[in-house]
């Protein structure tokens, strides 16, 4: 693409970083998604954003779909492009937004993966063999206790904890802060972890969870360590950290039926996002019904 078109893209990325103050993870997603449309435009000899019309956006979306990209991923790419084009409209580079009202193909509805209570007991009742395993167990306890996202977990500082009140202050999406509960098991794990953390942390390090090098642990490292711990505990399948967040939400909803409380716990801006857990709860009800109802049981 022309240098001017790429310059506008660089300005938009600076706007996202400095004005909207998006997280590094979100900025990385925006960069990847917008780079994808740049690459496609170059194959179609589209030199400037003024040359991209609505039909071009539809063609790009369709090509992503033909290559096997899922509907949610395409919608995320379209959302990134829509935001960028709106920025260009505001700066009078474009007269209208070519990505406006263009939607991705629908994807099959996927429910979050969660662990049942028995599997969680097996996961969390393992005995740590060293300080890194104590850290891993503490991270799992805290994630399950408060329904934390992976990014929220690794960004925690020691000052964000209030063990006397059983609370943690979490910085969520959109840099919104919320308070999540820290249950008794998580508090016990943290109490065992903090002396080890202080022993191995680098000077002036504020992170609650540190790596082998004494600095803040990375999301990728947490994913790998959780997988290793799950295998050690004899659990089949890949354990993604978000399974603990989903399990927390599912179990609280099953016990309380309070969707609003789960929304607040998870930090969802929209109740519709939380409602996916009602589908999980219904699945559980359907299984119980099939097993217990006299007219549903198979002979």
Q: Which residues pair with 216 in a beta bridge?
A: 210
| Angstrom distance (rounded) from CA 170 to CA 178 | 5
Asked if 85 and 5 touch (Cβ cutoff 8 Å), the reply is no
Judge whether 242 counts as a catalytic residue: yes
Q: 257 in the Ramachandran plot: left (φ > 0), alpha (ψ -120 to 50) or beta?
A: left
Asked if 137 and 126 touch (Cβ cutoff 8 Å), the reply is yes
> Which listed residue (77, 149, 197, 246) is catalytic?
149
| Angstrom distance (rounded) from CA 181 to CA 165 | 9
> Which listed residue (173, 178, 200, 297) is catalytic?
173
Other CB atoms within 10 A of residue 89 CB: 15
| Angstrom distance (rounded) from CA 179 to CA 168 | 6
> Which listed residue (119, 245, 246, 251) is catalytic?
245
Phi, psi (rounded to 5 degrees) for 259 = -70, -35
Q: 97 in the Ramachandran plot: left (φ > 0), alpha (ψ -120 to 50) or beta?
A: beta
Q: What angle do CA 82, 50, 14 make, to 5 degrees?
A: 55
> Which listed residue (77, 225, 246, 268) is catalytic?
268
Q: Which residues pair with 179 in a beta bridge?
A: 169
**Encoded tokens for 133:** 């395993």
Judge whether 173 counts as a catalytic residue: yes
**Encoded tokens for 124:** 């969390």
> How crowded is the C-beta side of 35, counted as CA atoms within 13 Å?
6
Distance from CA of residue 219 to its chain's centroid? Answer: 11
Judge whether 277 counts as a catalytic residue: yes
Catalytic residues, by residue number, are 149, 173, 242, 245, 268, 277
């Amino acid at each position: 693409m022309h240098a001017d078109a790429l310059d506008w893209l660089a300005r938009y990325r600076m706007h996202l970083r400095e004005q909207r103050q998006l997280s590094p993870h979100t900025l990385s997603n925006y960069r990847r998604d917008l780079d994808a449309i740049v690459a496609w435009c170059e194959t179609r000899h589209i030199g400037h954003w003024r040359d991209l019309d609505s039909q071009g956006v539809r063609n790009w979306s369709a090509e992503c779909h033909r290559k096997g990209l899922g509907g949610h991923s395409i919608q995320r790419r379209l959302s990134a492009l829509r935001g960028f084009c709106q920025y260009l409209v505001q700066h009078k580079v474009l007269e209208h937004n070519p990505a406006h009202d263009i939607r991705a193909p629908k994807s099959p509805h996927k429910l979050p993966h969660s662990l049942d209570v028995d599997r969680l007991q097996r996961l969390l009742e393992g005995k740590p063999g060293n300080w890194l395993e104590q850290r891993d167990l503490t991270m799992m306890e805290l994630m399950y206790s408060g329904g934390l996202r992976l990014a929220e977990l690794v960004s925690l500082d020691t000052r964000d904890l209030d063990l006397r009140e059983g609370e943690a202050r979490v910085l969520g999406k959109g840099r919104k802060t919320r308070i999540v509960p820290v249950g008794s098991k998580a508090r016990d794990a943290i109490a065992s972890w903090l002396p080890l953390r202080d022993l191995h942390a680098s000077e002036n390090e504020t992170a609650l969870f540190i790596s082998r090098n004494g600095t803040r642990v990375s999301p990728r490292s947490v994913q790998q360590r959780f997988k290793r711990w799950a295998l050690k505990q004899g659990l089949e399948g890949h354990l993604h950290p978000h399974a603990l967040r989903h399990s927390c939400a599912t179990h609280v909803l099953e016990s309380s039926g309070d969707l609003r409380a789960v929304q607040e716990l998870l930090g969802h801006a929209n109740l519709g996002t939380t409602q996916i857990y009602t589908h999980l709860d219904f699945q559980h009800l359907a299984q119980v019904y099939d097993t217990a109802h006299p007219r549903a049981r198979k002979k």
